[in-house]
Structure 1
Amino acid sequence: MEVNEYLYANIERYVKMTQQEKERLAEVVEVEEISRKEKLDVPGQVCRYRNYIVKGAFRSYLLDSSGKEHTVQLAMDDWFVSDFYSYVTQKPATLFVEALEDSLILRMHYDRIETLCKEIHSLSEYFRVSTEKAFAYSRNRALSATSMSAEERYQELYAMYPKLFQKIPQKYIASYLGMTPEFLSKVRKRSH
């Protein structure tokens, strides 16, 4: 399958695109191989790209004042990853976005995709719907963090995204869930 076909399949879960619209989108998509540990975004620099993961795994994290890492997003095949706040506002990033394995992504520059969305209604609609879904997920995650036990958060994540546990190292899943890797190991043993 041609690499752009993965992105088209993702888009067409929500909207239909004509062949001509797909060709226009292909003109602004950059295919890029990313090495393990390579960073797509770093704090202080404006996030210029919306990144679609064809194959790979990423995490977004921040460093607290003591230098401790806090994972705020995990992403894998067929997902988007970036410092989304920086991308949308075009203000400096606050997150590191790092590849957890050698990956293949499709990058779409902010200016080019914004211009294209003005021309192609279905593409604009797709990004609206996907942004709403991301916002809803983010809200649910915030509520889960304050109202659920660590074990319940683990079970919810596992039920929604079991493949994450095959691709993402346990220490990053633990960080994402707000627990130590040792505690996550205990939770996993009790849950399975």
Structure 2
Amino acid sequence: MEEFSSILDHIAPHIRLNEAEKELFLSVLRINKVKRKQFVEQPGFVSRYRTFVVSGSLRAFFIGIDGQEHTISLAVEGAMIGDPGSFLYKEPATLFVEAIEDSTLIQWSYESEQLLLKEIPHFALTMMQRAQQIAVAIQRRVISQLSLSAEERYAEFAKNNPELVQRIPLYIIASYLGMTREFLSKIRNQKIATKK
């Protein structure tokens, strides 16, 4: 199937699979097609699958005590998204995972992941490298949130993610950057005015 070959194409630069390993890997995958605004995960339910984005975009967020949405991660093609604490520890999720666009996902269960980690050494290496990359990204984001002004955070986001600025709705970008939509609109309008 096209989606399955897509995930193999994506991991090919990072993981070498022989034919038997490819067969095992593909045997544990499931395809999930979701519509815009559809939830993949919700608080109170245990996260059953690791989720890889083949096409589309998703966000993970929680609702604070103030009733505001706080987006903590974004994922587009080639990225993974979910509530890792729920997936790993079988605890009720604390995050919503929502499709921003119609999306095609490939998912695998915790039990399948344990099997792949045991049977395919390069899968284990790839997952470890992915976890390290995510840890660095989280560290950089926390430092950015604590040390940069709202204007600087948006400028950094736009520089590092020009495609997302075009694809992701403004209110989600604002939520991700820790500001209101109105304030982000003001920042963007000032940038446009400055360029003119």
TM-score, normalised to structure 1's length?
Answer: 0.93
Shift of 1:2: 1.9
Q: Which residue of 1 aligns with 2:187?
A: 187
CA distance in 1, matches of 2:27, 2:69: 37
Q: Which residue of 1 aligns with 2:102?
A: 102
Q: Which residue of 1 aligns with 2:142?
A: 142
Q: Which residue of 1 aligns with 2:64?
A: 64
Output one character per residue of 1:6-53: Cα deviation in whole Å (capped at 9) or x when no partner: 212322332322232222111011011112221111112111111111
Alignment of 1:1-192 (within 5 A): 2-191=2-191
Shift of 1:85: 2.3
Identify which range, 5-14 or 93-102, moves more after superposition: 5-14
Q: Are the structure 2 counterparts of residues 28 and 143 from structure 1 closer, same or farther at C-alpha, using a change threshold of 3 Å?
A: same
CA distance in 2, matches of 1:63, 1:38: 17
Shift of 1:186: 2.4
Work out whether residues 70 and 176 of structure 1, in 8 Å CA contact, stay in contact via their aligned partners in 2. Answer: yes
Equivalent AA in structure 2 for residue 148 of structure 1? L
Work out whether residues 56 and 100 of structure 1, in 8 Å CA contact, stay in contact via their aligned partners in 2. Answer: yes
Output one character per residue of 1:107-129: Cα deviation in whole Å (capped at 9) or x when no partner: 11111111121010001111110
Output one character per residue of 1:71-92: Cα deviation in whole Å (capped at 9) or x when no partner: 1111112211111222233222
Bigger CA radius of gyration: 2
CA distance in 2, matches of 1:156, 1:84: 26
Equivalent residues, number:
192
Q: Which runs of 5+ in 1 are unaligned?
A: none
CA distance in 2, matches of 1:34, 1:102: 6
Q: What SS does structure 2 have at the residue aligned with 1:37?
A: coil
Q: What SS does structure 1 have at the residue aligned with 2:162?
A: coil
Identify which range, 34-43 or 1-10, moves more after superposition: 1-10
CA distance in 2, matches of 1:44, 1:135: 25
Work out whether residues 155 and 191 of structure 1, in 8 Å CA contact, stay in contact via their aligned partners in 2. Answer: no
Shift of 1:67: 2.0
Identify which range, 132-141 or 160-169, moves more after superposition: 160-169
